[in-house]
């Protein structure tokens, strides 16, 4: 299943399954200096970043490639929501003259096909940037138990892509999410959109994995970056 379909499929559950992304967005917004007025949110989803911005903005532009996620985003006169694929280098061209003074991407760029290229396209705005990107240590024990290689980039790979910027601040944060049953854990994996569900495992293999998985929690690792060009 393509990442786009996966997010559209999970859109209706997203707001009840995005506990970790909520915490990530809150932290990322707390890093933003100087209350920027013209913000671009890459992979804005249903508006977690927008909802955490507690100062007046002139314009908030959110881009996402899932109509269903965009439909759930708050809509006001100063909010522009655009259907765009951030992997497409033309996605940002029209936005370049808009005087964007802050770019933010929370829990989205781990799905970039070529992160270095997306970073280069964003560099053209010449604006401060704030990223929170899930790393390959997400679902670490789960992946090891199932003998799966993570589809996400490692922290080192992400940092190598970011070496085209000046990194003003960086932090790696681990999160865990407890479940009172394996069934709820499995539901979370299916519905949160964190897995980029590639149907790597058959139903039988998933059932076995749930029996052998030794933890009652899932693990997440997120790298936070504040960079400038
Ligand atoms: C985990 S959600 C995060 C949403 C929001 N930023 C938040 O913090 O809750 C990831 C979002 O990135 C979007 N996304 C993933 N790949 C994308 C792409 N190539 N172009 C645009 N949006 C994309 C998904 O549709 C989804 O809304």
Q: Which domains does the chain have, with CATH numbers?
A: 3-137+151-176+221-228 (3.40.50.150)
Please tell me the predicted confidence (pLDDT) of residue 207. Answer: 78
**Residue owning the nearest CA to atom 26 of ligand 1:** 45
Kindly report the pTM of this predicted structure: 0.92
Alpha-carbon span 70 to 7, nearest angstrom: 11
Instruction: Note the pLDDT of residue 147.
Output: 86
Best mutation site among 43, 133, 197, 222 for ligand 1 pocket (most ligand atoms within 8 Å of CB): 43
The predicted structure's pLDDT at residue 86 = 97
What gap in Å lies between CA 5 and CA 127, rounded to an integer?
31
Q: Pick the closest to residue 76 from 53, 94, 105, 93 (CA basis).
A: 53
| Dist. CA 86–CA 99, nearest whole Å | 19
Q: To test ligand 1's pocket by mutation, which of 68, 72, 111 has the most ligand atoms within 8 angstroms of CB?
A: 111
pLDDT of residue 8: 60
Q: How many Å lie between the centroid of ligand 1 and the Cα of residue 214? A: 30
Closest ligand 1 atom, residue 41 Cα: 6
Percent of the chain with pLDDT over 70: 89
User: Which atom of ligand 1 is found nearest the CA of 49?
Assistant: 8
Look at the chain and count its residues.
Answer: 229
Protein residue with its CA nearest to atom 1 in ligand 1: 107
Nearest atom, ligand 1, residue 44 CA: 6
User: What's the pLDDT score for residue 195?
Assistant: 58
Which residue ranges of the chain lie beneath pLDDT 50? 1
Ligand 1 site residues (CB inside 6 A) read: 3, 7, 18, 21, 25, 43-45, 48-49, 64-66, 69, 85-87, 106-108, 111, 193
Residues contacting residue 218 through CB under 8 Å, at least 6 positions apart: 139, 142, 176, 177, 179, 185, 188, 189
Helices (DSSP H) in 47-129: which residue ranges? 48-52, 67-71, 115-123
- How far from 223 is each of 47, 63, 219, CA to CA, in Å? 20, 21, 14
Question: What residues contact 101, with CB distance under 8 A and at least 6 apart?
Answer: 36, 37, 38, 39, 127, 128
What pLDDT, on the 0 to 100 scale, is given for residue 191?
75
Pocket test for ligand 1, best of 45, 122, 130, 188 (most atoms within 8 A of CB): 45
Evaluate whether 131 touches 222 at the Cβ level (below 8 Å): no
Q: What is the pLDDT of residue 1?
A: 47
Mutate to test the pocket of ligand 1, among 26, 61, 64, 104 (most ligand atoms within 8 A of CB): 64
pLDDT of residue 146: 86
Ligand 1 atom 14: the closest Cα is on which residue? 43
Quick one: 121 exposed, middle or buried, by C-beta within 10 A (0-12, 13-18, 19+)?
Answer: buried
Show the CA angle centred on residue 98, arms to residues 125 and 108, nearest 5°.
Answer: 55
């Amino acid at each position: 299943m393509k990442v786009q379909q996966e997010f559209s499929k999970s859109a209706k559950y997203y707001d009840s399954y995005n506990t970790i992304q909520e915490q990530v967005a809150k932290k990322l917004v707390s890093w933003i200096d100087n209350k920027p007025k013209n913000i671009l949110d890459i992979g804005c989803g249903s508006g977690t970043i927008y909802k955490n911005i507690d100062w007046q903005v002139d314009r908030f532009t959110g881009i996402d490639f899932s109509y269903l996620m965009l439909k759930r985003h708050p809509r006001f006169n100063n909010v522009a929501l655009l259907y765009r694929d951030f992997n497409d280098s033309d996605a940002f061209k029209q936005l370049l003259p808009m005087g964007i003074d802050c770019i933010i991407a929370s829990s989205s760029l781990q799905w970039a096909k070529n992160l270095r290229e997306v970073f280069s396209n964003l560099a053209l705005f010449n604006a401060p940037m704030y990223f929170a990107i899930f790393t390959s240590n997400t679902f670490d024990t789960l992946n090891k138990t199932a003998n799966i290689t993570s589809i996400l980039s490692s922290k080192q790979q992400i940092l190598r892509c970011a070496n085209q910027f000046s990194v003003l601040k960086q932090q790696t944060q681990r999160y865990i999410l407890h479940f009172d049953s394996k069934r709820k854990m499995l539901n979370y994996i299916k519905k949160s959109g964190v897995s980029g569900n590639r149907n790597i495992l058959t139903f039988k293999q998933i059932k076995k994995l749930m029996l052998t998985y030794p933890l009652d929690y899932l693990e997440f690792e997120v790298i936070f970056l504040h960079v400038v060009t």
